[in-house]
């Protein structure tokens, strides 16, 4: 029999997180700090709207690009929060999570051999999605001394004649880094000068703890070369609803809609109805959750300081990314040992790219009680290492 | 009425659900020092924004008998004796947990907690109805509490998320 598989798929490395998941799930009574989704339930009024839509029998397909009502609310929201103007009709596409938007944006924009710049550490799917689009991933290793921000020089150094797209993942998973306006200005300048497009993954945009999030699409000249990706998972604790969206210039969005139409048809209808309520009535819920995350973030930073574990202060998402290199172990060894001896699961930084070596990702999408217990165990673990 | 500063709002948001949190921890969560937090709390106590630190008890989970009732009360205010005066008379009874002047079909809503239905009945017939201005009452016994002071009274939820996700 011939090999049934494609070369591209065989070349793709499995997610580094997968391996760790398999170990953790074997272990009883482990405390996990390894989750990349909110611990809150979706606010009730949003769930209620989903239930209501089911009761009303709204169980049909929606139009490919999404419910009109939802697209209009998405555009209202982007105008309200970021002063960005998109036409609901033609410049807005509702997707199955931000993940789908990343995939189809790349497939719509990348020709075989085009280079796509991916700053790392970052979310696990950018690189494989570039490969699936027959593009060539070019990784920028972000640095701790820059607080894992992308600098103008780093970007310039990575650009070649073949560069077409920059993936911009801020606020960042796993580092928690944000990219402030002055950095965005520099990056925008480079993109315009070098004629590069941006896929800006802003899924954590509502979770920033130092002023409001600024989108690269707000920078002069960038709106028409940016695909802005966002969604409901993190801001409204709606991961399981699988709902995201992409906004951008009509010429790109219409081609993304074509792929979406053939691959997916439309995003889940129930989720779309529920999401309308999220955007219309969810601001207070988001604020409440942000406040909780911020308190936990401060708690963790204070504990790291007590334990003398170096950690730059992250101002976004719900992760901290402490530097564990002083313990003389790789990230993988550290995480494995911590799990074996103290039964606390954290994710090795290397799951998010080679530049994550020396770091672990700790999620604070957990109650304070859980965090306290887990940090107590980590403290104990470290004290045994230092002896 | 006092407008709350952001830090006061955040402090109240935490201690409303966790009155036992210690100052040091509260200061860390607020991103400030203990003295600031202690001063804010002391001031809010003085200003009667913070009026006490109670414990929420679900008596249903104990063998202790506890009967709650909500009593609609209709009154006829006399000249020179407004609603406030009548409320003063009602609120001072030990049995009374809360008194609200409300709009709608009747005047006061009185929340009462007692050991038995008999005790509640006794309170209504002997103490509440006999107040001169009270013209009528309707007593509703609570059969089950689902949510009290913003807290849902049920077993703790388990974390059903996958243990590690990207």
- With a cut of 80, say whether residue B156 has pLDDT above it: no
- What is the predicted pLDDT for the residue at A3? 95
Residue A266 lies in a domain: yes
**Whether residue A314 is found in the same domain as residue A167:** no
| Domain match, A36 and A135 both | no
Residue in chain B nearest A24 by alpha carbon: B163
Task: Name the pLDDT band for B125 (thresholds 50, 70, 90).
Answer: very high
Question: Does A35 contact chain B (CB < 8 Å)?
Answer: yes
Distance from CA of B69 to the nearest CA of A (A): 28
User: Is A1 among the domain residues?
Assistant: no
The verdict on A37 and A86 lying in the same domain is: no
Position B81 scores a pLDDT of 76
CA distances from B94 to A128, B12, B139 (A): 69, 28, 17
CATH code of A124's domain: 3.40.640.10
pLDDT digits (tens, 9 = 90+) for B11-34: 999 999 899 999 999 999 999 999
User: From CA A13, how far away is CA A330, in angstroms rounded?
Assistant: 20
As to burial, measured by CB atoms within 10 angstroms (0-12 exposed, 13-18 middle, 19+ buried), residue A71 is: buried
Closest approach of chain A CAs to the CA of B28, in angstroms? 6
Give the per-residue pLDDT at B82.
87
pLDDT at A27 exceeding the cut of 90: no
Over residues A322-345, the pLDDT tens digits come to: 999 999 999 999 999 999 999 999
Q: Residues 6 or more apart from A373 whose CB is under 8 A from it? A: A31
Q: Which residues pair with A230 in a beta bridge?
A: A245
**Residue scoring higher pLDDT (A197 or B159):** A197
Helix, strand, or coil here: B69? Answer: strand
d(CA A203, CA A231): 6
Q: Domain check: are A271 and A374 in the same one?
A: no
Q: Which two tokens stand for residue B91?
A: 């609120």
Cis link prior to A384 (omega < 30° from 0)?
Answer: no
Of A281, A303, A326, which marks where a domain is finished? A281
- Which pLDDT does position A54 carry in this prediction? 97
- As for how many domains chain A has, the answer is 2
* All domains in chain B, ordered by first residue: 6-46 (1.10.10), 59-148 (3.30.70.920)
For residues A228 and A344, what is the distance between their CA atoms, to the nearest angstrom? 36
Is the predicted pLDDT of residue A367 greater than 90, yes or no?
A: yes
The pTM assigned to this predicted structure is 0.92
CB-based contact B28 A30, cutoff 8 Å: no
| Residue finishing a domain among A246, A281, A316 | A281
How confident is residue A386, by pLDDT bands cut at 50, 70 and 90?
confident
Residue range B91-111, pLDDT digits in tens: 999 999 999 999 999 999 999
Q: B162 CB near a chain A CB, below 8 Å?
A: yes
Q: Residues of A numbered 282-321 whose beta carbons fall under 8 angstroms of chain B's beta carbons: which are they? A: 288, 291, 294-295, 298-299, 302
* In a domain? residue A2: no
Amino acid A75: pLDDT: 98
Does A299 contact B28 at a Cβ distance shorter than 8 Å? Answer: yes
Mean pLDDT of A66-71: 98
Q: What is the pLDDT of residues A262-307, one digit of tens each?
A: 999 999 999 999 999 999 999 999 999 999 999 999 999 999 999 9
Query: Average pLDDT of A104-116?
Result: 98
Q: How confident is the model at residue A387 (pLDDT cuts 50, 70, 90)?
A: low
Note the Cα A320 to chain centre separation in Å: 14
**Cβ-defined contact of A30 to B163 (cutoff 8 Å):** yes
Nearest to B164 among A21, A173, A298 (CB): A21
CB contacts of B14 in chain A (<8 Å) are 295
CB contact (8 A) between residue A298 and residue B30 = yes
Q: From CA A96, how far away is CA A244, in angstroms rounded?
A: 6
Average pLDDT, stretch B144-163?
A: 84
A151 and A243 assigned to the same domain: yes
pLDDT of residue A41: 95
B23 touches chain A (CB under 8 A): no
Q: Point out the least confidently predicted range of A117-131, A176-190, B19-33, B146-160.
A: B146-160
Contact B10 A291 (CB under 8 A): yes
Using an 8 Å CB-CB cutoff, list chain B residues near A295: 10, 14, 29-30
Q: Which residues pair with A229 in a beta bridge?
A: A201, A246
The pLDDT tens digits for A160-193 are: 999 999 999 999 999 999 999 999 999 999 999 9
Residues of A in contact with B25 (CB under 8 A): 299
Q: Give yes or no: residues A262 and A363 share one domain.
A: no
Residues of chain B in contact with residue A125, where contact means CB-CB under 8 angstroms, are: 166
* Same domain? A185 vs A228: yes
Give the N- to C-terminal CA distance of chain A in Å, as an integer.
57
Task: For chain A, say whether B142 makes contact (Cβ under 8 Å).
Answer: no
Chain A CB contacts of B162 below 8 Å: 21, 25, 35
ipTM: 0.84
Residue A139 has which token pair? 């990784």
Residue A204 in this model has a pLDDT that exceeds 90? yes
**A323 lies in some domain:** yes
Same domain? For A109 and A247 the reply is yes
CA angle A34, A202, A347 (to 5 degrees): 15
Across the interface, do A17 and B163 touch by the CB < 8 Å criterion?
A: no
Let me know if A232 is exposed, middle or buried by CB neighbors in 10 A (0-12, 13-18, 19+): buried
* DSSP state letter for B100: E
Residues A340 and A242 in one domain: no
Cβ–Cβ of B29/A20 closer than 8 Å? no
Q: Are A65 and A93 in contact (CB under 8 A)?
A: yes
Contacts of B163 in chain A (CB under 8 A): 21, 24-25, 30, 32, 34-35, 345
Taking CB atoms and an 8 Å cutoff, what residues of chain B touch A14? none
Q: Do B164 and A302 touch (CB under 8 A)?
A: no
Residue bearing the bigger pLDDT, A222 or B59 = A222
Q: At B100, phi and psi to the nearest 5?
A: -125, 135
Instruction: Check which CATH number belongs to the domain holding A17 and give it.
Output: 3.90.1150.10
A chain contacts of residue B165, beta-carbon cutoff 8 Å: 17, 21, 34-37
- Report d(CA B74, CA B77) in Å as an integer: 10
Q: How many C-beta atoms surround the C-beta of residue A25 within 10 A?
A: 14
Which site among A34, A39, A339, A352 would you substitute to test the B interface, given the most B Cβ atoms closer than 10 Å to its Cβ? A34
User: Whole domain around residue A260: which residue ranges?
Assistant: 44-281
Among residues A126, A252, A140, the alpha carbon closest in space to that of A187 is found at A140
B151 compared with A231, residue with greater pLDDT: A231
One-letter-per-residue 3-state SS of chain A: CCCCCCHHHHHCCCCHHHHHHHHHHHCCCCEECECCCCCCCCCHHHHHHHHHHHHCCCCCCCCCCCCHHHHHHHHHHHHHHHCCCCCCCCCEEEECHHHHHHHHHHHHHCCCCCEEEEEECCCCCHHHHHHHCCCEEEEEECCHHHCCCCCHHHHHHHCCCCEEEEEECCCCCCCCCCCCHHHHHHHHHHHHHHCCEEEEECCCCCCECCCCCCCHHHCCCCHHHEEEEEECCCCCCCHHHCCEEEECCHHHHHHHHHHHHHHCCCCCHHHHHHHHHHHHHCHHHHHHHHHHHHHHHHHHHHHHHHHCCCCCCCCECCEECCECHHHCCCHHHHHHHHHHHHCEECEEHHHHCHHHCCEEEEECCCCHHHHHHHHHHHHHHHHHHHC
Indicate whether A179 belongs to any domain: yes
Reduced to 3 states (helix: H, G, I; strand: E, B; else coil), residue B101 is strand
């Amino acid at each position: 029999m011939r090999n049934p598989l494609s070369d591209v798929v065989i070349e793709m490395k499995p997610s580094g997180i997968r391996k760790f998941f398999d170990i953790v799930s074997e272990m009883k009574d482990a405390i996990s700090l390894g989750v990349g989704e909110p611990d809150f339930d979706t606010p009730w009024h949003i769930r209620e709207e989903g239930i209501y839509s089911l009761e009303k029998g709204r169980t049909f397909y929606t139009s490919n690009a999404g419910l009109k009502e939802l697209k209009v609310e998405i555009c209202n929201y982007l105008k309200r929060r970021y002063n960005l103007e998109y036409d609901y009709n033609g410049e807005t596409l509702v997707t199955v999570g931000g993940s789908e938007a990343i995939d189809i944006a790349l497939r719509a924009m990348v020709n075989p051999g085009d280079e796509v710049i991916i700053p790392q550490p970052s979310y696990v799917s950018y690189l494989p999605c570039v490969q699936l689009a027959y593009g060539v991933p070019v990784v920028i290793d972000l640095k701790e001394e820059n607080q894992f921000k992308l600098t103008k020089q780093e970007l310039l150094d990575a650009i070649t004649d073949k560069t077409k797209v920059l993936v911009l993942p801020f606020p960042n998973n796993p580092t928690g880094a944000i990219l402030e306006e002055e950095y965005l200005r520099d990056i925008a300048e480079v993109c315009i000068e070098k004629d590069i497009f941006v896929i800006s993954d802003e899924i954590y945009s509502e979770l920033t703890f130092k002023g409001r999030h600024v989108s690269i699409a707000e920078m002069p000249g960038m709106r028409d070369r940016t695909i802005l990706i966002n969604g409901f998972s993190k801001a409204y604790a709606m991961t399981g609803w699988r709902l995201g969206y992409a906004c951008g210039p009509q010429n790109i969005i219409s081609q993304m809609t074509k792929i979406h139409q053939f691959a997916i048809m439309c995003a889940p209808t129930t989720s779309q109805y529920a999401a309308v309520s999220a955007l219309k009535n969810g601001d207070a819920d988001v604020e409440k959750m942000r406040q909780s995350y911020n308190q936990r973030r401060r708690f963790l930073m204070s504990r790291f300081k007590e334990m003398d574990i170096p950690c730059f202060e992250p101002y976004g998402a719900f992760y901290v990314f402490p530097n564990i290199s002083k313990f003389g172990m790789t990230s993988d060894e550290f995480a494995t040992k911590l799990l074996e001896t103290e039964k606390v699961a954290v994710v090795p930084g290397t799951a998010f790219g080679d530049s994550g070596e020396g770091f672990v990702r700790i999620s604070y999408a957990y109650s304070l009680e859980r965090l306290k217990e887990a940090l107590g165990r980590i403290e104990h673990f470290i004290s045994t290492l230092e002896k | 009425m006092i407008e709350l500063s952001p830090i006061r709002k955040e402090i109240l948001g935490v201690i409303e659900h966790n009155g036992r949190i210690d100052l040091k921890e509260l200061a860390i969560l607020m991103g400030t020092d203990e003295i600031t937090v202690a001063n804010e709390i002391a001031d809010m106590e003085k200003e009667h924004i913070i009026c006490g630190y109670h414990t929420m008890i679900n008596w249903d989970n104990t063998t202790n008998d506890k009967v709650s009732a909500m009593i609609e009360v209709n009154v006829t205010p006399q000249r020179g004796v407004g609603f406030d005066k009548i409320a003063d008379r009602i609120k001072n009874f030990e049995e009374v947990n809360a008194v609200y002047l409300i709009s709608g079909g009747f005047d006061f809503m009185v929340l009462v907690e007692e050991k038995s239905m008999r005790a509640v009945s006794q309170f209504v017939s002997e103490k509440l109805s006999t107040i001169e201005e009270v013209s009528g009452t309707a007593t509703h016994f609570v059969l089950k509490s689902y949510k009290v002071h913003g807290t849902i009274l049920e077993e703790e939820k388990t974390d059903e998320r996958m243990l590690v996700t990207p």
